[in-house]
Amino acid sequence: MVLGVLLALAGCVASVDEPDEHDMSSMEPGIATVGGGPDTPYRGLAPTEPFPRPAFTLTDTDGAPYDFMAETSGELTLLFFGFTNCPDVCPTTMANVAVALRNVDLALAEEVNVVFVTTDPARDDAATLGAYLKRFDADLPVSFTGLTGNQAAVEAAQREAGVPVAADNGETHSTLLLLYGRDDLARVAFLAGSVPDDITHDLEIIARE
C-alpha cells in the first residue's frame, strides 16, 4: 500500500536545476492528493485512511537488531526514510523535527521516538548514521534512532511503511515524515517544505488523541 500523496518522492541533489530527473511521482499512477484543511485538525497531510505502524527489523547505531514495532508500539513516533549524504531534504527534515521537539513541553518531547531509516545502506553504516544524527539531537531530551541493514531489508521496511521504495541508490526517496500515535496509526504525515510549527502543532494534537 502506497500512501496517497502526490510528490511523495524527491531526489536529494545539490542542484535544483534538474528536478524532473529525480522526481518519481509519475511512477505512482494510483496516487491521489490528500492534505490538511477544514476537514482535519492537522496542518500536515491526512491520508484518506490512517496507516498502521509497520513491522520491520533493521540494525541500529549500536549494531543491534531493532524491531520497530516492538520498540515503538503504543508510543508517539516520527519515522523518516532518507540518507546521510542528502544535501537538502533529509537534513532540513531532521532539523525541523529537532526544532519541533524543542518547542513542545519537555514531558511530551521525552515521549517521542524519532526513527531515521537509511535508503542508502551501502554507505550508511551504523557509525555513519550515529554521527549524522548527533548533529540534530545532541541537545534534546531524546536521542534519534538510526537504522540500516541490507538493501532487501531496507526496501522491505519502506513497503511495510507504505511509502514508495527509493531509487537511484537511495537518492530518490519518499519525503514523507510519518507521525504515529499511541494507537499505532499514522493519521498525519509531513512533506518536504513543512515547517517546525506544523510538526509541533500536529504532534500536540496527536498526543491528546
Q: Cell digits for 29?
A: 499512477
- Burial group, residue 73, by CB count within 10 angstroms (0-12, 13-18, 19+): middle
Residues making up the chain, counted from first to last: 209
Mean pLDDT of the chain: 86
Measured in degrees and rounded to the nearest 5, phi and psi for residue 5 equal -140, 130
Measured in degrees and rounded to the nearest 5, phi and psi for residue 135 equal -65, -20
Determine the Cα–Cα distance for residues 205 and 131; give it in Å rounded to an integer.
31
Asked if residue 85 lies in contact with residue 46, where contact means CB atoms within 8 angstroms, the answer is no
pLDDT grade for 170, boundaries at 50, 70 and 90: confident
pLDDT grade for 146, boundaries at 50, 70 and 90: very high
Measured in degrees and rounded to the nearest 5, phi and psi for residue 41 equal -85, 0
Q: Does residue 5 carry a pLDDT above 70?
A: no
Determine the Cα–Cα distance for residues 145 and 62; give it in Å rounded to an integer.
10
Q: How many CA atoms lie within 13 A of 156 on its CB side?
A: 11
Sign of the dihedral defined by the CA atoms of residues 42, 43, 44, 46, in that order:
positive
pLDDT tens by residue, 60-104: 999 999 999 999 999 999 999 999 999 999 999 999 999 999 999
CATH number of 9-208: 3.40.30.10
Domain extents for the chain? 9-208
Determine the Cα–Cα distance for residues 191 and 105; give it in Å rounded to an integer.
24
Asked if residue 91 lies in contact with residue 181, where contact means CB atoms within 8 angstroms, the answer is no
pLDDT tens by residue, 39-58: 789 999 998 889 999 999 99
**pTM for this entry:** 0.85
Determine the Cα–Cα distance for residues 61 and 50; give it in Å rounded to an integer.
29
Determine the Cα–Cα distance for residues 63 and 136; give it in Å rounded to an integer.
20
